[in-house]
Amino acid sequence: MTGSAPIAQSRPAASPARLPVRQLAAASVGNAVEWYDWYAYSFLAVYFAGQIFPKGAGNSLVPLLSTFAVFAVGFFMRPVGGLLMGAVADRLGRRAALSVTIVLMGGGSLLVAVTPTYTSAGVLGPVVLVVARLLQGLSVGGEFAASTTFLVESAGPGRRGLFSSFQYVSTTAGQLVASGLAALLAQVLTDAQMTSWGWRVAFAVGAVISLVGLWIRRGAVETRSEEQQRAPRPGLFEALRRHPRQSLLICGITVGGTIAYYTWTTYLPTYATVHAGLGKGDALTAGTITLAFFAVLQPLGGMLSDRIGRKPLLIGFAVGFAVLVVPLLHLLTGSLLSLVLVGCAGMVLLTGYTSVAAAVNAEVFPARVRAAGIGFPYSLTVAVFGGTAPYVGTWFQQAGHAEWFPWYVAVLCLVSAAVYVVLPETAGRPLDR
């Protein structure tokens, strides 16, 4: 009995490194599903808004505005999800948290798919939609904390940057699949069919593939060490209470990256349409091309960081974006090619942050509170600065100062640049387990 104990104790720590494909699949597939469902809502809102919300007197935009208000509610549930699901990951295990987040997202997607219309059920329809978005907001907030921790702890020596890069590979894949399926449904079905029932198909698909993601995740290997599993469970706010400096550091690391990410992946096509006169179809096509290019870049950035360190990439991103965001946006014209070139140039710079963000965040906190320590400050910063990027850009435009928005992005990138300069290099250090 006593002679077999060392072998049993060594297996959990060693197995993840021996099973890189399974571990990557468990984190990436589930993360892609999470973001597929999240983006499907924004892509299809124009079809189901009028079904769920009644029109205001003389204003056909009321349903759409109400739908996006519910979208924002989900966004601001992300910090809560980061805290709660991070605590689950630290207390019960990374795999348990990953299972919970994907069940929440799948359940939320199913609720959206079966949401009754306002005509058939009255106020019950909007209530069901709000509950669904609350579940999905909790899920997305917790997903980053759990999957980031899981990915980095699954990596073998000298591969944490590579593994962490799959966080944004899978996020982008989910976004591309959501936009692709939405476009396919819009092509195959009539507008009347899309408005009546077609939009529900995408959410039903999301619920089904969530089950596939859950099955894959249940076969993953837990990355917490035996010592961590035996240790007393951390309190819900222990990371914030005992590691306030690291919590603030996560905010500083994230603020420039999240404003740049949401500006370039979400707001840029709209910016090109409004300010450069580019057609909506060309803007969406250019956005798809640049997102695909962005996904390909991520593993290259991750591998480079494993060789030369995280700080050169982070500083290159922040300084490069701060200096070039204004001239890049001024280069936009009414042509598809200009948006593709500007978009891809920004994606190259952005990769300096996205390809290593998961690794850097995980390397900041000790294993005991790693997931919760990452989850809350990261999700809060994303909600405050990343999620509001399109709104801030639109507000500047309505105020008659559209040219201020690029400067706003540049200033936030400089804030992160200052943090990156003083950030210790963690690439070559052993990860605390």
pLDDT, tens digit, 9 for 90 and up, residues 24-71: 888 888 889 888 987 887 778 778 878 887 765 445 555 555 655 666
Which residue's entry shows tokens 């280069």?
A: 331
| pLDDT at residue 1, as a whole number | 41
| pLDDT at residue 56, as a whole number | 57
| pLDDT at residue 69, as a whole number | 64
Determine the Cα–Cα distance for residues 258 and 132; give it in Å rounded to an integer: 25
| pLDDT at residue 7, as a whole number | 35
| pLDDT at residue 332, as a whole number | 87
Contact status, residue 338 vs residue 276, Cβ threshold 8 Å: yes
Say what the pTM is.
0.84
Domains and CATH numbers, the chain: 10-219 (1.20.1250.20), 243-425 (1.20.1250.20)
At residue 428, φ and ψ (nearest 5 deg) are -90, 0
Residue ranges of the chain with per-residue pLDDT less than 70: 1-19, 55-73, 280
Reading the block at residue 174, the tokens are 């989910």
Reading the block at residue 178, the tokens are 């959501």
Determine the Cα–Cα distance for residues 347 and 330; give it in Å rounded to an integer: 16
Tell me the C-alpha to C-alpha distance, in Å, between residue 180 and each of 168, 193, 241, 294.
18, 18, 44, 16
| pLDDT at residue 429, as a whole number | 84
| pLDDT at residue 110, as a whole number | 94
Cα 311 off chain centre by? 22
Burial (Cβ within 10 Å: 0-12, 13-18, ≥19) of residue 431 = middle
| pLDDT at residue 282, as a whole number | 82
Contact status, residue 23 vs residue 154, Cβ threshold 8 Å: yes
| pLDDT at residue 202, as a whole number | 92
| pLDDT at residue 268, as a whole number | 84
